[in-house]
Chains A and B, each alone.
Chain A
């Protein structure tokens, strides 16, 4: 029992919801995207395209909502603590992250045995999460380059012209999807390999006891078994 306590303050309810929306959108987009890329079975193209387009827009809107909310809603920027700050801080460099990149990589590669101390998100994790909005924007942009009605509109047409045509844009769009797939695989793996507590929090908003971390001292200061008593 070495992980930090998972408090709801780390993931306020609106973000649990946006996470759910992200999950559904991306999974369905990948599935329908594969189908549009090549129709492996019959009878689904119209639905696939409708879903792909609709959920594509939803994903972008959700992404925007998530970013805007992060400016207003407060969450705990460190795990194992109920102290909250503006959520955006969770995605920006924090003092807790300093000099920990190497430690994380070493930890993942089994060179370092101990779990690095840090904020809610470790350094590589934070980098990956921060890249996601850009990735969503890029995939949406290339998607609109491919979508016939928008493909003739200025910037989309210009992009198609720049890369050498819709065929090339399609390949770029397809490759970005694979970045998402690999991200999801990695994300799901890392979030669950050390236990299901983080997943339970993210999907079921279920708290879980563990070590307590102090955002002031940047150290572990105790343990909380969620029996109502803080150490």
Chain B
């Protein structure tokens, strides 16, 4: 059971009892340590700044940036670290002042929160916010708490004075996979959240109260492509204006064309050369993955051009059908890339009707089958009633006419209309039977 012994041993004493030494160090640096004291004279200027302010100078040649991680997998930060040019160190030392980033910051806890607070106060209207991960609204926002605050409150607060917000990755755009059915934690994207808050009167964009929400740049994909992210930052910082955005606030340069249209395997598609099974000869030949459910034809991204991991490869080149992870719709709920694209290896997504999940083809074939069966059954009925040879005999008089002689459609009396007696008799019989059937 439990811990029976929790000795409060002084750790330094413990260290000694464990016989830890510094011998190793002395072996290799003994020769140079003598001179180490000398460098103290060159006290760096940063030291002065640090004393008053945990972020140093609030404003300088670097653009202040806060990188907020919400319900994320940290994949976008990881991805950011894989950028080709400029490398991530150049970005954080020479392009932006990354004052708050949970995964990268040197600071932690209270002092890190202080860095965020100071940036928001002293660089109000100047700082750019990069948001990674979905916002969680479940349990009134308690599904995600950071530094003892609900993330929903943090976002409201940080957005109010942001120069622009970059939503990195599909999660920040529309909730991503976390918003997929059944959306257990109440995931949503930043843009839809702020719009709803604005509509409910709970949010004001302090920098420019004439607009509803801060400028938002949505950079979906799971994770966000680092070349995209850095390009967006460069656009905003160097060019001094937002990149051209589409109706979903996605940069058109990156999300304007379908993957399919730039795919190196497009030729195989047009030739009708498809991989139908993994491990097949066709797969080895690098044929088109369309038949295996590749979502390239309906996903807009320039993956085939910009590629991944310092441009060494991308999904289709590695032999994987696109799963449409760049699909993200900030304008409506329920169109996250997981719900939109599963099953990944099927050509079209599943339909959900109540608790039933099925493919559109199954549904259509079902309805088509029912129609076919109905027609065949009807055909037997037609045969049985003798209508297949020229159809049934015509009614001698419209039923309406018979019931409403004053408003009759036919102008000639029904009895006269039927020229042949045979027909007239048949008509009478039929009428009687119909009436009988009605009762």
Contact = CB atoms under 8 A, between A and B. Distances in A.
B334 interface: yes
A63 B260 CA distance: 31
A2 B394 contact: yes
A2 B378 CA distance: 20
B393 A39 contact: no
Contacts of B372: 185
Contacts of B364: 174-175, 178
Contact of B291 (A39, A99, A217, A218): A39
A189 B375 contact: yes
Interface string A162-176: 001111101100110
Interface stretch (B8-16, B302-310, B405-413): B405-413
Interface in A146-205: 148, 152, 157, 161, 164-168, 170-171, 174-175, 178, 181-182, 185-186, 189, 193-195, 197
Interface in B220-234: none
Interface residues of B, number: 73
Contacts of A128: none
B347 A37 contact: yes
Contacts of A4: 394
B272 A44 contact: yes
B371 to A, nearest CB: 5
B398 A45 contact: no
Contacts of B247: 157, 161
Contacts, number: 189
A43 B388 contact: no
Nearest to B260: A148
Contacts of A48: 272
A211 B394 contact: yes
B205 interface: no
B382 A115 contact: no
Nearest to A149: B261
Given A148-B261, A175-B360, A178-B364, A218 B271 contact: no
B347 A45 contact: no
Contact of A193 (B257, B335, B379, B414): B379
B437 A111 contact: yes
Interface residues of A, number: 67
Contact of A186 (B298, B371, B382, B430): B371
The interface residues of chain A, by DSSP majority, are classed as mixed
Interface in B347-369: 347-349, 351, 360-361, 364, 367-368
Given A46-B271, A174-B348, A113 B430 contact: yes
B273 to A, nearest CB: 6
Given A2-B394, A115-B391, A178-B367, A171 B347 contact: no
A116 B256 CA distance: 57
Nearest to A223: B419
A190 B273 CA distance: 41
Contacts of A135: none
B375 A185 contact: yes
Interface in B373-429: 375, 378-379, 381-382, 385, 387-400, 409-412, 414, 417-419, 427
28 contacts: A3-B391, A39-B290, A41-B272, A43-B272, A45-B274, A96-B409, A100-B400, A103-B398, A103-B399, A107-B392, A111-B434, A111-B437, A115-B392, A115-B394, A164-B340, A165-B298, A165-B340, A168-B340, A170-B298, A171-B349, A171-B360, A174-B348, A174-B361, A193-B382, A194-B387, A211-B394, A217-B412, A221-B412
Interface of B: 247-248, 256-258, 260-261, 269-274, 290-291, 295, 297-298, 324, 327, 329, 331-332, 334-335, 340-341, 347-349, 351, 360-361, 364, 367-368, 371-372, 375, 378-379, 381-382, 385, 387-400, 409-412, 414, 417-419, 427, 430-431, 433-434, 437-438
